[in-house]
Amino acid sequence: MTAPPTRTDPSSGEAEQDVGDDFGVYVHVPFCTHRCDYCAFATWTDRSHLIADYMACCRDQARALASGMPPVTSVFFGGGTPNLVAPSMLAAVLGELPLAPGAEITVECNPDLVTPAGMRSCSDMGVNRISLGVQSMVPHVLSSLGRQHDPFMVAAAIDAVWSTGIGLLNLDLIFGSPAESIADCERSLTAAIAYGPDHLSVYGLTPEPGTPLGDDPSRHPDDDDMADKYVIVDEMLERAGYEMYEISNWARPGAHCRHNLLYWNQGSYAGIGCAAHSHRDGRRFWSVRTPERYIGAIRSGSSVEAGSESLDPDERRLEALQLALRTSAGVPAEAVPDDVADLLMPAGDGRLRLTVRGRLLANEVAIRLHHSPHGAA
Amino acid sequence: MPNVPPEPDIRQDSGAPGSSGPGSIRNFSIIAHIDHGKSTLSDRILELTGAVKERSMRAQYLDSMDLERERGITIKAQNVRVGWRGHTLHLIDTPGHVDFGYEVSRSLAACEGVVLLVDAAQGIEAQTLANCYLALEADLAIVPVLNKIDLPAADPDLYASEIERVLGIDAGEVLAISAKTGDGVETLLDAIVERIPPPSGDPNHPLQALIFDSHFDQYRGVISSVRVMNGRLHTGDRLRFMHAGGVHLAEEVGVRVPAATPADELGPGEVGYLIAGIKDVAEARSGETVTSAVAPADAPLDGYDDPKPMVFCGLYPVDGDEYPELRDALAKLRLNDASVSFEPETSGALGFGFRCGFLGLLHMEIVRERLEREFDLSLIATAPSVAYRVRTSEGDDVEVDNPSELPPAAQVDEISEPMLNVSILTPSAYTGAVMDLCQSRRGSMSQMDYLSPERVELRYELPLAEVVTDFFDQLKSRTQGYASLDYDHAGYRAERLVRVDVLLNSEPVDAFSAICHRDAAYPYGKAITAKLAELIPRQLFDVPIQAAIGGRIIARETVKAKRKDVLSKCYGGDITRKRKLLERQKEGKKRMKAIGRVEVPNEAFVSALRLDQ
C-alpha cells in the first residue's frame, strides 16, 4: 500500500472554525450505477444518457453564477457518484469558477469505480481532496446496507488516491445497521483508521421513508445500539488522534473539511445542479429535483430554483444554535436549563459544547436552550 | 289554480285536537329491541294513516337527531298523532337503551298500551323483556307482534310460543307482520284500536298533564311532550309546574301530525306539545306534572323521579385555553339534557375541567360526542367511575365519584359500591361463556331460567363499576352478538376496594387514579404501567412509572432515558431539512403536558384511560 503523501494543507493556519469570507460551491452529480438501500437522495441509476447534457448544463450554470461569486474557497462535487462521470466534465465546471488560492476541491467517490487513471485526472484538474464512501469494512454489514463493494476495493481505491499525490482523504462510514455487531463496528473503525485518512465522517444509519431500508422496520437501527456505537466510535477516533469538530466529523488537527464547516456556521455557498442547496445571507434556496427538469430549465434560460426560505431572526437564531451546537466550537455560555446541564461542558472562551452523550441529544439541547428564559446564542 | 285537480286525501282524519272524545283515542308505544324494526314500523304507520305521504317519507321519520340515526337508537322520545278509521292514535316513541330507563317509564305512563315488537327471526331480547315488564306493572295492554316475517329465517311459531311462555300472552294473539313490506300492518292498527283501552280522564277535574319529554329549541325555548290526564290544557293558560315550582304561560299548545300544528286546547287522553317560554329543560323535566296556576290540582301525578347520574368522568379540553368554551358548551347541552350533571374540577395533570355525571356509559359517550361534534371541542375524558359511598373513620358518610378524592386509607372505615341486578338473555349454547364473564366481574348468580330449550335468562348481582367498563362489549363478543342485557339498580354493598395511584417519576398523577377491588388491583397496576410505558416517549432521564396502593408500590415499569435524537448526514448542503426536523421536535413538545419534569403526550391520557377497551 502506498504511504500517504506529505500533506498540503489548504486551510493555512486560520482560526480553526472561523469561516470568515469563505464561499463554497456544491456541485451535484445525480447519477449512480446502483442505489444503496438507505439512500433517499436525488440520484438515478437509469439516466446515464443524460450525463453529458447534464454536466454541460452544470458548466453553463457555473459560468452564469461565477460573476456574482466572491473568490471560491471550497468546491465539493457530491452525489450521487461524481466519479461515475468523466473527470473532464467535472473539470469543465471547475474551470468556470473563480477559485481562491489554495481552495479545497473535494470529489466524492464510490470505491467500486475509483481507478488510478481517474484519480490522476482529478489530481491534474486541481482536486486536492477525495471523499470515499466506504460505509463499512465488514462484508456482511456492507451487504446489509445494500452496498455492492467489498472491503478489498476500498484498499485499492485508497491506493489509487495516495498514488496520485492527492493529500486529503476522507472516509465516509455508516454505523447502526442491526446486522452490525459492536465488534463489527470496532473492526470497521480499526480498518479505516489503519489507512491513515486525515478525515472521517461517521454517520448514524437513518431510515428514510420510501427507501428499501426505510420501508423494512426489521432493518431499522436501534437508538440505544446507535448511541453505544457512537460512544465507541468517538473514543476510538480520539485515541487515534482525530478530533471531533462536528457531531459526525472527525479530523486530524488542521484537516477539517473547509466546505463542511460552511454548513455548520451558516456560511454562504452556491449549489450547482439539480437538488443542490444554496445559502446567501439568510436566504436558503434549492434547485429542481430531477436532472430532466434541471436541464430543461438551464436550456430555456428559466430559473432552476424550486423553493426557498428566508428565516426570520428568531428562526435564524434557532438554526445558528442548532448548527453551532453540533460543532466543537459550541455556543456562547448563557443560562442553561438544569435538565441539560450535564450534557454540556466548557469549550473555552466562555463557550459551551456538547459532551459525547450530549451530542447524541443535540436537538433536545437546542430546543431547551432556545426555550430557556434568558435564551442562549 | 282551478285546473289542477286536488291531491287525493288519503288521510284518515284524526279529528280536531280538543274535540276528540277520550273514547276514540288510543295511546301506545312500541317496545322493541334495537334493529327489530321499530322505526320502520313507525314509518309504515305514518304512511298508512296518511300522516306522511309516501313520496315525502324520510326513512325513519321519528329518529331525528343525527346521533340517533347513526347509532340506530332513539334517545329522545317523540310522539305523533294519526287518524285510523275514525280513531285518533297517539304513537309515543320511547328511548331504546337501558341508560334511559326512567324516560321509558315516563313515556309508558302516557300510554294505555304497548305494541311489543319482536324480530321473528331472533325472538325477544332482555331489554324488550324488561320494558315489557314495566308495561305489565303499569297495567298496560300488550299487543304482541312478530316482525320481519318476510325474512327466510323467520320462525313466527317458535317465537310466538316463546312470548306465550315468557309473558303469559296467548300465542294465538301474536300478530305477524312485515313492517318493511307493510304486510299485516293494517291488521295491527285495527288490533291497536280493539285491544288497547281508551284513556279515562275527567275533563272537569283540575288540569293534570304529564310531561314525558322536553327538549330545547333555540328559537322557541323548551318544547315539551305532554299527555293530558285530567282537565283541559289551553293555549294562553297560566300553568304551574308542580315539581319545579315555576309558573309559565302556555304560549303554544299543539299536536304533531307529524308537523307541529298549533291547537286551542288538548283534552283528557290527548297527547301533544307545549311551549311555555322556558329556557332550561330542568324546569320541565320528564315526569313533571303541569296544572293550572289559577285552579291547580291537589297533587301531582305519581312516578316523578329525579334520575341520578350513575357514571362519572372528568372532561378536560385538550387545549387548556378552551376551558371557557367547554363550560359554555356544557351549559348549552344541559338546556337540552337535564340528566347531565357537571361541576368544575381541577386535575394536577390535566388542568381545569369538569366532573360530569351521566345516566350510563352510552349516555356518557353520546354527550362527549355531541360536545366534540356540535361545539367543535377536542376533549380528554378520564376513566369512567361510579359513585362510591365512603364511611370515614370519624363516622361520616361521603360520596366519592372521583377516585382522586378518596380520603387516605387511614381515614377510611368502609367503602361501598353501587350494585346492579342484571338480567342477561342468551342462547343456551353461550351460558358457560356468560357465566365466566359474570364471575370474572365479581358477579353472583341469583337465578337462571330457561325461556325455551335454546334460550336462557341469567340473573346476576354485579357491581356497577364492573359493568361500566367493557362488560357489554365482552358480553357481545363472547356470545357472537346474541346475548342481550338489562339492569336495575340494586343499592350499595361494602367491598374490599382500594385506590390504585399511578406515579410518574415518583409524582402521583391524579388523572390515572382508579378505585378497584383489592384482588384486581395488581393486574390493573401492571396493565396501566405497561400501557403508559408504551405511550410515554423517552425523556432525557429514566422515568419510573409506578402503580401504588397507599404507599406500597405494586407495579413498576421504566421508560429508559432517551439517548439519541440526531445523527444524520447533511445531503447537498440541505440545512433546511435539519432545521425543519428540529422545528417538528419543538412543535411536538407543544402537544405534551408536562407532569413534573415528564413530558406526556395528550394521546397518552386518552389511550391509557381506555385501558379496558
pLDDT tens figures, A118-133: 999 999 999 999 999 9
Rounded to an integer, what distance in angstroms lies between the CA atom of residue B25 and that of residue B271?
A: 10
Surface-to-core class of residue A186, CB atoms within 10 Å of its CB (0-12 exposed, 13-18 middle, 19+ buried): middle
CB contact under 8 A, B564 and A286: no
Classify residue B7: in a domain, yes or no.
Answer: no
Judge if B490 and B533 occupy the same domain.
Answer: no
CB contact under 8 A, A248 and B569: yes
Judge if A255 and A330 occupy the same domain.
Answer: no
Residue from the list B568, B573, B583 with its beta carbon closest to the beta carbon of A204:
B568
Alpha-carbon dihedral sign for residues A278, A283, A287, A289 = positive
Classify residue A270: in a domain, yes or no.
Answer: no
Assess whether pLDDT exceeds 70 at residue B11: no
Query: Which of B335, B357, B382 corresponds to the end of one domain?
Result: B382
CATH code where residue B593 lies: 3.30.70.2570
Classify residue A15: in a domain, yes or no.
Answer: no
Range of the domain at B230: 208-292
Residue B601, min C-alpha distance to chain A (Å): 16
Classify residue B172: in a domain, yes or no.
Answer: yes
A–B: how many Cβ contacts below 8 A?
Answer: 106
When pLDDT is averaged across residues B32-53 and rounded to a whole number, the result is 82
pLDDT tens, residue by residue, B591-613: 677 778 888 887 777 666 554 43
List the single best residue of B543, B559, B571 to mutate versus A (max A Cβ within 10 A).
Answer: B571
Judge if A193 and A330 occupy the same domain.
Answer: no
Classify residue B1: in a domain, yes or no.
Answer: no
Classify residue B16: in a domain, yes or no.
Answer: no
List the single best residue of B567, B590, B592 to mutate versus A (max A Cβ within 10 A).
Answer: B567
CATH code where residue B466 lies: 3.30.70.240
CB contact under 8 A, A361 and B566: yes
- Count how many domains chain B has: 5
**Which pLDDT does position A130 carry in this prediction?**
97
When pLDDT is averaged across residues B298-306 and rounded to a whole number, the result is 83
CB contact under 8 A, B564 and A364: no
State the CB neighbour count (10 A cutoff) for residue A92: 18
Classify residue B412: in a domain, yes or no.
Answer: yes
Q: Give strand ranges (E) for chain A.
A: 23-29, 72-79, 99-109, 129-135, 168-175, 199-204, 243-246, 249-251, 268-272, 277-280, 283-287, 305-310, 331-332, 344-348, 351-354
When pLDDT is averaged across residues A250-265 and rounded to a whole number, the result is 94
Classify residue B535: in a domain, yes or no.
Answer: yes
Classify residue B203: in a domain, yes or no.
Answer: no
Judge if A243 and A345 occupy the same domain.
Answer: no
Which of A271-280, B214-223, B310-319, B565-574 is predicted most confidently?
Answer: A271-280
Classify residue A1: in a domain, yes or no.
Answer: no
* Residues from chain A contacting residue B571 (CB–CB below 8 Å): 41
Rounded to an integer, what distance in angstroms lies between the CA atom of residue A287 and that of residue A271?
A: 8
Query: Which of A264, A298, A328 corresponds to the end of one domain?
Result: A264
Asked if the C-beta of A361 comes within 8 angstroms of chain B's C-beta atoms, the answer is yes
**Which pLDDT does position B578 carry in this prediction?**
86
Instruction: Report yes or no for ipTM above 0.90.
Output: no
For residues B260 and B215, the answer to whether their CB atoms sit within 8 Å is no
**Which pLDDT does position B348 carry in this prediction?**
78
Supply the pTM of this predicted model.
0.65
What spatial distance separates the first Cα and last Cα of chain B, rounded to whole Å? 63
Name the average pLDDT for chain B: 85
Chain B residue with Cα closest to A310: B576
**Which pLDDT does position B103 carry in this prediction?**
77
Query: Which of A228, A245, A264 corresponds to the end of one domain?
Result: A264
Assess whether pLDDT exceeds 70 at residue A18: no
State the CB neighbour count (10 A cutoff) for residue B57: 13
Query: Which of A264, A293, A326 corresponds to the end of one domain?
Result: A264
Question: DSSP letters of A68-91?
Answer: TPPPEEEEEEEES-GGGS-HHHHH
CB contact under 8 A, A203 and B540: no
* Residues from chain B contacting residue A311 (CB–CB below 8 Å): 579
Judge if B60 and B160 occupy the same domain.
Answer: yes
Judge if B86 and B189 occupy the same domain.
Answer: yes
When pLDDT is averaged across residues B404-419 and rounded to a whole number, the result is 88
Judge if A252 and A325 occupy the same domain.
Answer: no
Range of the domain at A133: 23-264
- Count how many domains chain A has: 2
Judge if B281 and B376 occupy the same domain.
Answer: no
* Residues from chain A contacting residue B540 (CB–CB below 8 Å): 339-340, 343, 361, 364
When pLDDT is averaged across residues A16-40 and rounded to a whole number, the result is 88
Query: Which of B448, B470, B495 corresponds to the end of one domain?
Result: B495
* Residues from chain B contacting residue A326 (CB–CB below 8 Å): 566
CATH code where residue A249 lies: 3.20.20.70
* Local confidence band at A189 (pLDDT 50, 70, 90 cut-offs): very high
**Which pLDDT does position A372 carry in this prediction?**
60
Query: Under an 8 Å CB criterion, which residues of B touch A?
Result: 540-541, 560, 562-576, 578-579, 581-583, 585-586, 589, 597
Share of chain B above pLDDT 90, in %: 42
Classify residue A47: in a domain, yes or no.
Answer: yes
Judge if B377 and B346 occupy the same domain.
Answer: yes
CB contact under 8 A, A339 and B563: no
Judge if A179 and A321 occupy the same domain.
Answer: no
State the CB neighbour count (10 A cutoff) for residue B12: 18
Judge if B44 and B100 occupy the same domain.
Answer: yes
Judge if B36 and B150 occupy the same domain.
Answer: yes
For residues A370 and A318, the answer to whether their CB atoms sit within 8 Å is yes
Judge if B49 and B133 occupy the same domain.
Answer: yes
More confident residue, A280 or B13: A280
The conformational region for residue B97 under phi > 0 = left, psi -120 to 50 = alpha, else beta, is beta
The three cell numbers of residue B557 are 415499569
Chain B residue with Cα closest to A205: B568
Size of chain A, expressed as the number of residues it contains: 377
Chain B residue with Cα closest to A370: B586
Assess whether pLDDT exceeds 70 at residue B57: no
Classify residue B202: in a domain, yes or no.
Answer: no
CB contact under 8 A, B576 and A284: yes
Classify residue A367: in a domain, yes or no.
Answer: yes
Amino acid type, B583: E
More confident residue, A149 or B570: A149
Rounded to an integer, what distance in angstroms lies between the CA atom of residue A278 and that of residue B573?
A: 7
CB contact under 8 A, A226 and B578: no
For residues A107 and A122, the answer to whether their CB atoms sit within 8 Å is yes
Judge if A97 and A186 occupy the same domain.
Answer: yes
Judge if B504 and B489 occupy the same domain.
Answer: no
**Which pLDDT does position A375 carry in this prediction?**
42
Assess whether pLDDT exceeds 80 at residue A373: no
Helix (H) or strand (E) holding A258: helix A258-264
* Residues from chain A contacting residue B574 (CB–CB below 8 Å): 277, 286
Judge if A148 and A252 occupy the same domain.
Answer: yes
Judge if B232 and B143 occupy the same domain.
Answer: no
Helix (H) or strand (E) holding A118: helix A116-125
Share of chain A above pLDDT 70, in %: 93
Asked if the C-beta of A362 comes within 8 angstroms of chain B's C-beta atoms, the answer is yes
Asked if the C-beta of A143 comes within 8 angstroms of chain B's C-beta atoms, the answer is no
Judge if B359 and B442 occupy the same domain.
Answer: no
List the single best residue of A200, A319, A359 to mutate versus B (max B Cβ within 10 A).
Answer: A319
Residue A227, min C-alpha distance to chain B (Å): 6
CB contact under 8 A, A226 and B564: yes
pLDDT tens, residue by residue, B469-512: 778 878 888 887 778 888 888 899 999 999 999 999 998 888 88
**Which pLDDT does position B488 carry in this prediction?**
82
**Which pLDDT does position A2 carry in this prediction?**
55
Classify residue A140: in a domain, yes or no.
Answer: yes
**Which pLDDT does position A278 carry in this prediction?**
96
Which alpha helices (H) appear in B479-565, and where do they start and end?
A: 518-535
* Residues from chain B contacting residue A288 (CB–CB below 8 Å): none
* Local confidence band at A264 (pLDDT 50, 70, 90 cut-offs): very high
For residues A257 and A105, the answer to whether their CB atoms sit within 8 Å is no
Assess whether pLDDT exceeds 90 at residue B87: yes
In A, residues 180-239, which contact B (CB 8 Å cutoff)?
Answer: 201, 203-204, 206, 223-224, 226-227, 230
Judge if A132 and A250 occupy the same domain.
Answer: yes
Classify residue A351: in a domain, yes or no.
Answer: yes
Rounded to an integer, what distance in angstroms lies between the CA atom of residue B512 and that of residue B533?
A: 13
Judge if A248 and A320 occupy the same domain.
Answer: no
Residue from the list B563, B573, B582 with its beta carbon closest to the beta carbon of A322:
B582
Classify residue A271: in a domain, yes or no.
Answer: no
Helix (H) or strand (E) holding B158: helix B156-167
The three cell numbers of residue B446 are 341469583
CA B229 to chain CA centroid, Å, is: 27
**Which pLDDT does position B66 carry in this prediction?**
53
Judge if A320 and A229 occupy the same domain.
Answer: no
Chain A residue with Cα closest to B575: A263
Query: Which of B351, B382, B413 corresponds to the end of one domain?
Result: B382
Judge if A239 and A334 occupy the same domain.
Answer: no
Half-sphere exposure of B191 (CA within 13 A, CB side): 19
Rounded to an integer, what distance in angstroms lies between the CA atom of residue B298 and that of residue A3?
A: 115
Residue B584, min C-alpha distance to chain A (Å): 11
Judge if A37 and A186 occupy the same domain.
Answer: yes
**Which pLDDT does position B9 carry in this prediction?**
42
Assess whether pLDDT exceeds 60 at residue A24: yes
Judge if B588 and B514 occupy the same domain.
Answer: yes
More confident residue, B569 or A115: A115
